[in-house]
Amino acid sequence: MPFRFTSSALPGHVFTGRIDRVSESIDPNTHTVRARGTVANPHRLLKAEMYVDVEIPGHRSAAASVPARAVFLLGEKHYAFVEETPGTFVRHEVRVAAEQDARVLVTGGLRAGQRVVTDGSILLQQLLD
């Protein structure tokens, strides 16, 4: 199966390859799945054990996505502000996956249809401190 991927260690580069094998289990600590594939690496940019964000053409995640600027890191956790009622915002812890094209996949902590703050999240957080 073909795939494409990026790495935050190599901004601006998009690589392609072919998936040869996928692990049958999810790592409980990192929430990742190991996969083995074949990739051309003529310039030796890619190194063993690099973390990458993989996209499989034609396959979409069931996770929701929000603009990347809607999610912020506080300590070791990710958060987003959700509009509970007009003008009332509540900070929600969210679980995030890959970021691509200025959007973040949110795998937990938000429900479909919830409105999130996309500009001013940091200001709202400072007001809470």
Q: By residue range, what is the domain housing residue 79?
A: 64-128
* pLDDT in the model for residue 56: 77
Residue 104's CATH number: 2.40.420.20
| Token output for 68 | 């990347």
* pLDDT in the model for residue 60: 56
Place of tokens 């809607």: 70
pLDDT per 10-residue tile (average), the chain, 129 residues: 89 91 75 81 92 75 77 91 91 85 83 87 82
Alpha-carbon torsion (42, 49, 27, 25), positive or negative: positive
* pLDDT in the model for residue 22: 80
* pLDDT in the model for residue 31: 65
What is the C-alpha separation between 78 and 115, in angstroms, rounded? 17
* pLDDT in the model for residue 63: 63
Question: Residue 8 burial (CB < 10 Å; 0-12/13-18/19+)?
Answer: exposed
Max distance between CA atoms of the chain, in angstroms, equals 54
The residues near 83 (Cβ < 8 Å, ≥ 6 apart) are 89, 114, 115, 116, 117
Tell me, yes or no, whether 79 and 44 share the same domain.
no
* pLDDT in the model for residue 93: 94
| Structural domains counted in the chain | 2
* pLDDT in the model for residue 53: 83
* pLDDT in the model for residue 10: 92
Range 11-14, long-range pairs (CB < 8 A, 24+ positions): 13/45
Tell me, yes or no, whether 51 and 6 share the same domain.
yes
Tell me, yes or no, whether 114 and 79 share the same domain.
yes
Tell me, yes or no, whether 26 and 73 share the same domain.
no
